[in-house]
Amino acid sequence: MTYRAPIADMKFALTEIAGHPADDDTLGPILEEAAKLAGDVLAPINRSGDIEGAVLENGVVRAPKGFKEAYAKFVDGGWNAVPCDPAFGGQGLPWTVATPVAEMWNSANMAFALCPLLNQGAIELLSAHGTPQQKALYLAKMISGEWTGTMNLTEPHAGSDLGLLKTRAEPQGDHFRLKGQKIFITWGEHDMAANTIHMVLARTPTAPAGSKGISLFLVPKYLVQPDGQMNGRNDLRCVSIEHKLGINGSPTCVMAFGDNDGAVGYLIGRENRGLEAMFTMMNNERLGVGLQGVAIAERSYQGALAYARERKQGRDIKGGRDTVAIVEHPDVKRMLLTMKSGIDAMRALTYYTAAELDRAKASGDAASMARVDLLTPIVKAWNTDLGCAITSIGVQIHGGMGFIEEIGAAQHFRDARIAPIYEGTNGIQAQDLAFRKVVRDGGKAMRALIAEMDADFADGMGYPSEKASLDALESATAYLVKAGQESPEAAAAAATPYLALVGTVVGQWMLTRQAKAAQRHLDAGTGDRAFLELKITLARFYAQNTLPQAMAAAMAVAGGAEITALDEAVL
């Protein structure tokens, strides 16, 4: 199953939604070169990697055939360094550019792309919280991709509630000795890079109970001397590889630290403040996971569209032909439009958020950072829920062939399912949106977003459902703020439908903005007419077929009484 990066769609979202300069002559070549690597190198080993999977042999995890060679090309091309600090060998390009490039890796081969995704988060964490010595010793090789990074949070008894973790860190001179076990460690052990730098949460002997007693440690697979040379294996190992529903090419490891004297680790940031530092990495990962929702949906859509154009089945409903390609059937068109409009909405939202992040970092703009904070749980949760729904539609369009593994549609469905779970389940994202991003400031940031959407809709394409959905969102926001102050349990019950409501309305906002931009180009006689007309069609279709779901979600926001009143013992 081939993949070709949708460069025209990417550029349109970048320039018309994210505000990237339309006259940037470097953008096209970057996207085109990334597309070659994604389409010609990573995509061809996606299916084989899923079948073969990663293998643990004599303590060494071997990536599927072709992954190591592909990773070498990835590193040689400088792709790992795209958004990183030039002081340590990075290219210093904005997240607005790095985001579509990362979309390509995830569309082409999500299992492979998880390795640089985790490494990028580790780089962000170390850049923000590491000492000058730690940065000098590790950052350059992590940025180049010569070394990779991981995050080690979860333990068998401590998943979302990290306050329960038991991994211990005993001080010993200028370092600590760690003992404990972590699970679900993505690319925790592998043979693609020379060293792996683990970011590990653990407790020191004097740590208070709960989340306030968690510290963060840098634990290298191979110990590193002051001159940067590796010096022997650290006391850590991969115990086993998880057998998973999807992303089988990515080794998800059970990691043991300290079977003997204890794994050598170095404190990052302040003792007992590790969870705060780790959230630097997790926030980065949450945007990256939201992008996976876009990417895997795009890959599924490309396969479904190609199949629908080739597969001949059923009579022409308009009459005249006995057998037509299924793409001509109205219900298949409906499914394809549902996929495409959702993908366009997700992509525009994710690129827009990346641009706001660039603005916040460049100028310290508080309004941009507040917008990023508000949108991050939506990008993560709404995108990944929609990614699962879209890949399911992809299977449906293939019919019985979609249910057979050989065709490839089922793999996208399986791969997509992890995204609503890791880096904070989508239920946790909804709680974060409800309590930290809406209730905490009395709805101020959300109302600012509603006002901006209202202005765009008023000057937009005139879809009646836009105003109705905004009114529903405003009422739901008022309910949530009041509930959060008076009955936190009711607010918690409302959080997930509230996030679905926000995501659905924001999706229309993105598509309306794209439609307005497309109309401007049509009026000016610039651009590809068919491409631009499709943008308008997608906005209209979404407004008529998807946006009404916002009103249903708004009803559910206020419908939590049965949830809060339920005695769980009766279930």
Hey, which residues does 238 pair with through a beta bridge? 255
Interatomic CA distance for residues 206 and 273, integer angstroms: 13
The type of residue at 293 is: G
Burial 269-281 (b: 16+ CB within 10 A, else e): bebbbbbebbebb
Hey, which residues does 252 pair with through a beta bridge? 186
Which is it for the CA torsion 386, 369, 99, 287, positive or negative? Answer: negative
Interatomic CA distance for residues 553 and 494, integer angstroms: 10
CB count, 10 Å around CB of 398?
A: 22
User: Does the active-site annotation cover 405?
Assistant: no
254 by DSSP, 3-state: which?
Answer: strand
What six digits make up the tokens of 548? 């009404």
> Which of these is catalytic: 423, 452, 486, 533?
423
Q: Which of 355, 441, 411, 425 is nearest to 100 (CA)?
A: 355
Rama region for 191: left / alpha / beta (φ>0; ψ in -120 to 50; rest): alpha
Interatomic CA distance for residues 563 and 565, integer angstroms: 6
The type of residue at 24 is: D
Which residue is it, tokens 């390609």? 325
Q: Which of 184, 255, 201 is nearest to 418 (CA)?
A: 184
Cβ–Cβ < 8 Å for 20, 14: yes
Cβ–Cβ < 8 Å for 106, 291: yes
Start-to-end C-alpha separation, the chain: 44
What six digits make up the tokens of 218? 């840098």
Cβ–Cβ < 8 Å for 160, 188: no
C-alpha 555: how far from its chain's center? 28
Please state the three-class secondary structure of 310-368 as a single string. HCECCCCCCCCCCCCEHHHCHHHHHHHHHHHHHHHHHHHHHHHHHHHHHHHHHHCCHHH
Cβ–Cβ < 8 Å for 439, 484: yes
Q: Which of 400, 475, 481 is nearest to 433 (CA)?
A: 481
> What is the chain's Cα-based Rg?
24
Among all residues, which ones are annotated catalytic? 423
